[in-house]
């Protein structure tokens, strides 16, 4: 039998008795650090990556995202999945082109969402969204290099708290060929339990304030738990706190954390 590919290894992680934790580093150093701490897979964060470029989420180009994915995948020896937003296109054929390009980056997986990037009309029609996922799945699953495709239903991020519609979308995405399903913004344990019970593919849940614990999510059958841009924002908040102390108080209490950070980097980067 041929050796399992990195995509095979990544997909297998979703089919165990307990959810695995997939944090979202924003640069290669953070990726190496997280792997050194014991995480078995990573996912990029569109918002965290955008911040490294001095941009807001949604402002990164396809070329920038794919270049970043290449760098992140080459930095570590664990599976990496990339947040490819809405595929940087509307048309299903163009979304498929994005996925085909992603298969050459060293990634194990990627995600495509059903948000349009248009504030006035933020969510694609469900049937059209499914067409986009079908095109993405075909590109992800054919050819010499394959990817695990996560399909995202973005309703809850845009104030559309319609669980039935969200489940319907994810069911359509599953039928279209998605490997993993994800409804970011969903945080009620009862809603998550219902979602998991109504779909036939592994479900990812993002950690949010007030979200169920890892143990609670395990009990309802969640396969994967991510954190989105949270770690990047925590890091930036630490910089802001240190800068305020230096600017406003003229003291250096933040230096107490330097040794811990340096030691962590030395352990991760050797």
Do residues 173 and 129 lie in contact, with contact meaning Cβ atoms separated by under 8 Å?
A: yes
Mean pLDDT to the nearest integer, 247-267: 97
Chain segment 162-177, per-residue pLDDT in tens = 999 999 999 999 999 9
Q: Is 168 exposed, middle or buried (0-12, 13-18, 19+ CB in 10 A)?
A: middle
pLDDT above 80 (res 106): yes
The helix/strand count (H/E) of the chain reads as 11, 8
Do residues 152 and 201 lie in contact, with contact meaning Cβ atoms separated by under 8 Å?
A: no
Q: 225: helix, coil or strand?
A: strand
pLDDT category, 248, cuts 50, 70, 90?
A: very high
Say how far residue 169 (Cα) sits from the centre of its chain.
19
pTM reported for the whole predicted model: 0.97
Report CA Rg, the chain. 19
Chain segment 118-137, per-residue pLDDT in tens = 999 999 999 999 999 999 99
pLDDT reported for residue 2: 78
pLDDT above 90 (res 1): no
Domains of the chain: 6-229 (3.20.20.60)
Chain segment 207-217, per-residue pLDDT in tens = 999 899 999 99
């Amino acid at each position: 039998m041929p050796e399992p590919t990195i995509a095979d290894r990544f997909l297998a992680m979703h089919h165990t008795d307990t959810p695995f934790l997939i944090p979202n580093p924003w640069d290669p150093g953070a990726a190496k650090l997280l792997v050194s701490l014991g995480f078995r897979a990573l996912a990029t964060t569109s918002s965290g990556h955008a911040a490294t470029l001095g941009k807001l989420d949604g402002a990164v180009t396809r070329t920038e995202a794919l270049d970043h994915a290449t760098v992140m995948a080459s930095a570590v020896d664990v599976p990496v999945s990339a947040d490819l937003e809405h595929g940087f296109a509307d048309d299903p054929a163009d979304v498929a082109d994005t996925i085909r390009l992603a298969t050459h980056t060293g990634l194990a997986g990627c995600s495509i969402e059903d948000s349009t990037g248009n504030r006035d009309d933020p969510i694609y029609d469900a049937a059209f969204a499914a067409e986009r996922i079908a095109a993405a799945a075909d590109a992800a699953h054919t050819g010499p290099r394959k990817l695990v495709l996560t399909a995202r239903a973005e309703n809850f991020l845009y104030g559309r708290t319609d669980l039935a519609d969200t489940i319907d979308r994810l069911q359509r995405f599953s039928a279209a060929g998605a490997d993993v399903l994800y409804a970011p913004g969903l945080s009620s344990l009862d809603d998550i339990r219902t979602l998991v019970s109504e779909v036939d593919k592994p479900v990812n849940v993002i950690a949010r304030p007030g979200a169920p614990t890892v143990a609670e999510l395990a009990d309802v059958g969640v396969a994967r738990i991510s954190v989105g841009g949270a770690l990047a924002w925590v890091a930036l908040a630490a910089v802001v706190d240190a800068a305020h102390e230096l600017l406003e108080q003229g003291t250096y209490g933040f230096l107490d954390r330097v040794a811990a950070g340096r030691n962590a980097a030395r352990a991760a980067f050797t």
